[in-house]
Structure 1
């Protein structure tokens, strides 16, 4: 199924509804919810998913698990998705918070196959067997540390959202504290209370997440310079330490 609206086919009595969709660069899916759990897989491009409590960056060939009923907004950067909408009872182990996961070659091909199904596919035939195998494989996904917590309160949330959209090495704790009309000490204490980390550490991780959007269209040298790293080697070391793989795995 391709470029269909979930609302038009949600009534079909199948546990797994696959829908593929093409999105132009810079397309934003406004805040919304689904009755079903969603696996949102990017066959191309990079996505950023935002909820009340965090932001998840989803590179090509990765996916984000979105719990049923969780309000989310998605920024699509020239993305083709292969989504699965899953009845909650069919995946009681689904996480209660969004989670980015790696997709292995077998599951990738299963998702590709499922997105050719008709909405009323035969659950007792080959298509149903593929859907059941997908549900089995989803239990063995590998989580990836491709997210940051987002404060719920202002002005902290707006500061973080602005930084995620355009990380700037010149931003300091003092600049953020002044924008929030607080002392540096008070700002950092309140920021830690909402995110569990310091604002400096948060910005450092956010810059690495931003690199995931840049790597498909820029060299490692260009990305490291744009994000303020002393050298490509320094950027590569920081990237690998946080994400467990070098930037070349995401370009």
Structure 2
């Protein structure tokens, strides 16, 4: 199967649901494009997208995920979703997996960590013929791919989205202006509800307090922007933090490491893999 690029012939693009194989894989490469957005769509086969370079965001009913380099996102079959590739260079791999082969994989969308073995197996699988023989080495390769996906660790780059119209208005407003640091009281008044109601609804619909949800919004945006090349200082300012140290402290508490180290580890891992190919 050819690796798809931004200049690939459209005849190379095949509907994965029409290919009579339990798993089919694509590589994709794009450079210096102005951003690509795939509107809401669905397919019968589930989809795993591994990002090697660049970043993408995925929105599905109930939440938004950001996938930085070195991570992957699992989208179950029939899930209505949209994808947005950020500006700059983009490189990664796709695998579409039939419902039968997806048994044992998560039933909900999630971002997952990518082990070296999973990356290597997927890298090799993209070079299989579209209609590969379903026995022998190919079967074993696909089996290892599915086994690695089944045990992949789930990452916390998920922003649950509320459905209540008032909460959704607040969420959209905060996403459009993430530097806005209004208090719970301020946002409750803007939405025409009490602080107690806002807090109760937010916990009920997202599983998070208002403050925790806003922190998760900051984490998701920070990872996305840094994957695009933004500095820690710029991200802290764009998120409305009064100082870089306060932003770094929040980031370390949420993800266990500093923003710089987080992105360095992911970029270095991806670069090592690209160099070894």
> Structure 1 length as normaliser, TM-score?
0.89
Change (3 A) 1:154 1:209: same
SS of 1:218 mapped into structure 2: coil
SS of 1:160 mapped into structure 2: helix
For 1:10 and 1:167, how far apart are their aligned partners in 2?
A: 38
RMSD: 2.2
Of the structure 1 ranges 213-222 and 68-77, higher mean CA displacement relative to structure 2 is found in: 213-222
Of the structure 1 ranges 51-60 and 216-225, higher mean CA displacement relative to structure 2 is found in: 216-225
Match of 2:239 in 1: 227
Change (3 A) 1:89 1:191: same
1:159 to 170, 175, 179: 170
Of the structure 1 ranges 67-76 and 195-204, higher mean CA displacement relative to structure 2 is found in: 195-204
Match of 1:143 in 2: 154
- 5 Å matches for 1:106-145? 106-145=117-156
Asked if the contact 2:157–2:219 (Cα under 8 Å) also holds between the matched residues in 1, the reply is no
The structural deviation recorded for 1:236 is: 2.5
SS of 2:240 mapped into structure 1: coil
For 1:22 and 1:175, how far apart are their aligned partners in 2?
A: 45
Q: Which runs of 5+ in 2 are unaligned?
A: 5-11, 265-277
The reply on whether 1:16 has 2:23 as its aligned counterpart is yes
SS of 1:135 mapped into structure 2: helix
Q: Which runs of 5+ in 1 are unaligned?
A: none
The structural deviation recorded for 1:65 is: 1.0
For 1:160 and 1:243, how far apart are their aligned partners in 2?
A: 22
Change (3 A) 1:123 1:97: same
For 1:242 and 1:25, how far apart are their aligned partners in 2?
A: 31
SS of 1:143 mapped into structure 2: coil
The structural deviation recorded for 1:169 is: 3.5
The structural deviation recorded for 1:172 is: 3.1
Encode CA deviations 1:134-181: one digit per residue, 9 max, x unaligned. 112212211111112111221322432343354124333234323322
The count of residues paired between Structure 1 and Structure 2 equals 250
For 1:219 and 1:119, how far apart are their aligned partners in 2?
A: 41
For 1:156 and 1:174, how far apart are their aligned partners in 2?
A: 14
Encode CA deviations 1:12-42: one digit per residue, 9 max, x unaligned. 3221110223464432111111201111111
For 2:159 and 2:26, how far apart are their aligned partners in 1?
A: 28
Asked if the contact 2:106–2:150 (Cα under 8 Å) also holds between the matched residues in 1, the reply is no
1:31 to 40, 52, 59: 40
Match of 2:195 in 1: 184
Match of 2:59 in 1: 50
For 1:34 and 1:106, how far apart are their aligned partners in 2?
A: 27
The structural deviation recorded for 1:6 is: 4.6
> Structure 2 length as normaliser, TM-score?
0.81
Match of 2:256 in 1: 244
Of the structure 1 ranges 228-237 and 79-88, higher mean CA displacement relative to structure 2 is found in: 228-237
Of the structure 1 ranges 41-50 and 170-179, higher mean CA displacement relative to structure 2 is found in: 170-179
For 1:93 and 1:199, how far apart are their aligned partners in 2?
A: 33
